[in-house]
A and B are shown apart, each in its own frame.
Chain A
Amino acid sequence: MAQDPNPLDLLVRKLRQHATLSDGDEQAILALPYRMRTVEAGSYVLREGDPPLQCAVLVSGFAYRQKLTGDGARQIVAIHIPGEALDFQNMFLEVADHSIQVLTRAELAFVPREAFQAIARARPGVGNAIFVTTLVDASIFREWVLNVGRRDAMTRLGHLLCEFALRLEEQGIADEYSYELPMTQEQLADAVGLTPVHVNRTLKTLEAQGLIRRSRRNVVIPDWERLRKAGDFNSRYLHLNPQDA
């Protein structure tokens, strides 16, 4: 837990994907107060209806945002990977409109929300970076709406696997063509709006067509271009290289 000199380094890396930070901005972020906590798989970081007083930065492990229908069916609306701040969405909203849970055992750095609000006001560069990051989150939400609403099962899963590949690579967590996907069929099903049985069959079909290889939780993409096509994937919505826009 304490080997990492500063867990907020990961956040800096994340913010730099979408915005420019001065050295002073970076130092200010690293100087934010935080409290580390390790939580077990399935733990809640924030529950729907609670006031978001802390902003958690995911240091290791995976987390997801979820909403429930009236009769308890779950939709996973976003997956988060290390380096991402889980509560920027709630920075200026008084009550959580969805829940955040960790997918795996995870380490979180909790920063008081006022500290983020203060740094965003005091340092326009940091404020801008946080703003852009929440806009990118929104862009991913839009893409997911398209994904579950208009793509067939194969394309949906293919798209999700492409997205993870790029995000994990960008964050320096995995090679673009091979990564650990710590999600069960049920969780994948809730993310793409299918049943677990359908997800199982679709993954097997993707495998049979040579688009992915899997062993336990490991996903290997033998031919990025083919999976990209099968998943109808265009990375523009991730806004990874703002200079190319």
Chain B
Amino acid sequence: MPRFFFHIRNGNGFTEDEEGQELQDERQAEKVAVRSARSLLSAEATEGEIDLRGAIEVADEGGGEVMTVAFRDVLGFKRGGLGDGEAQPDAGSAPIGEALVSHLSCIGELSDEDRRAVAALDGEIRDVPRYQDILRSGDHPTNAVVILSGFLHRYTVGPEGARQIHSFYIPTDAPCLETLHLDYMDNNLAACVDSRIGLIPHRELYRLMDERPDVLKVVWRETLIQGAVFREWLMRNSNMPAHAAMAHFFCEIFTRSRAAGLAEHDSCPLPITQELLSDALGLTPVHTNRTLMLLRDGGLLEWRSGRLKVKDWDRLCALAEFDPAYLHLRC
């Protein structure tokens, strides 16, 4: 039987498994990884704080990575009070505050106390069907949005009815934090696929930012980074040839997914249609499809069933001249 090694990577660093376990196959290894992650988290639960950042990395005898099982993916959560009716199954998505902590931690430094305060933020959980608008141009939002599962995008519609997508959002992202200070939406926020979002009342965030200057700083930084991403997209869409622009898009999504703990080795969720991608890159659907074939046949990536698999990261980055500096990630 093959031997699998279960390394732990989390806030405490890297715990190497030098001994491993003999198991039938990868499916068995995945079961063991999930069970192990749950047992580690259950010990944390008895101490009063669960740290969902981190993962169990499964390797084979040659040291090759077999899979990564993120802690956040091994637990479901049910929230709300008794009598709230049937509790919603919440497969794999972290509670609202936890998701926001995880997002902000990729952006700036927060003390443990700040983290706990942000993690305690709660609000309404809402399921949004595919393509439905969450916020429309002209709306006056009173809640901040945090993505718990799914995929969102922001867009505006031009005078001819053409849609331009400005950005995509992945789980734990908090799109539209600028509405804390800009009172109405000048664009639309919609779901790319069936998604679940958390809504944190703005007043809760105002209160927290009043009490905790470092939270204020990180939220501010978050909105500034959004601006940086828009600038990068502007440069990409107006100055780069289609194949490089598309490669750039894939590089960004993969980098952000990895930072958010959503990537698995060389792949990450990308559950959008080619049509949405066209509207993000400003290409026609036909051009998008042809460009995609080019990247795929070049052995750079695969994209199917809502998953992006990067086959040659170095060449993809070189093609895109991708420099992640504009994402200002700190994780």
Which residues of chain A have a CB within 8 Å of any CB of chain B?
152-153, 184-186, 194-198, 200-201, 204
Contacts and interface: CB of A to CB of B under 8 A. Distances in A.
Secondary structure class of chain A's binding surface, majority of residues: helix
B19 A194 contact: no
B52 interface: no
Interface of B: 6, 8, 15, 17, 19, 21, 32-33, 35-37, 39-40, 43, 46-47, 56
A180 to B, nearest CB: 16
Contacts of A204: 15
B43 A196 contact: no
A200 B8 CA distance: 9
Nearest to B46: A152
B39 A200 contact: no
A185 B40 CA distance: 15
Contacts of A200: 6, 8, 15, 17, 19
A184 B17 CA distance: 12
A197 B8 contact: yes
Contact of A201 (B15, B21, B46): B15
Given A152-B46, A186-B21, A200-B6, A194 B39 contact: yes
Nearest to A203: B15
B17 A197 contact: yes
A198 B43 contact: yes
B42 to A, nearest CB: 9
Given A197-B40, A197-B56, A198-B40, 15 more contacts: A152-B46, A152-B47, A153-B43, A184-B19, A195-B35, A195-B36, A196-B19, A197-B8, A197-B37, A198-B36, A198-B39, A200-B8, A201-B8, A201-B40, A204-B15
Contacts of B21: 185-186, 196
Contacts of A185: 17, 19, 21
Which of A184, A201, A204 has the most C-beta atoms of chain B within 10 angstroms of its own C-beta?
A: A201
Contacts of B17: 185, 196-197, 200
Contacts of A201: 8, 15, 40
A152 B43 contact: yes
A91 B110 CA distance: 63
